[in-house]
Amino acid sequence: MELERIRGVVDILGQIEEDFTVPKNIRIKIKGVVESLNQETLSIDIRIDIGLQELDEISDDPNLSSFTRMQIWNVLSALESI
């Protein structure tokens, strides 16, 4: 069940990563979050913690549009509930 929810989060992050209206530095960071969440050598708790920390940092970026910021906040909420 947790893996399914992580896959859903990864799908949303993939959409953000493919959105060319999102600044390139943010897309690169999102790609890193996706890689961290998919890293099967780490426990789920550690993957989620890494994702939460990185997404929290990304959400503070002043170049982020309000729509993308809301998407990231939704992802943060989803990860926190896992």
> What is the CATH number for 36?
1.20.1440.50
Structural domain of 37: 2-81
Instruction: Please tell me the pTM assigned to this model.
Output: 0.89
Asked whether the CA dihedral 67, 69, 75, 77 is positive or negative, the reply is negative
Number of domains the chain is built from: 1
Tens of pLDDT, residues 7-62 = 999 999 999 999 999 999 999 999 999 999 999 899 999 999 999 999 999 999 99
Instruction: Give every CB contact of residue 72 below 8 A, 6+ residues apart in sequence.
Output: 16, 55, 58, 59, 64
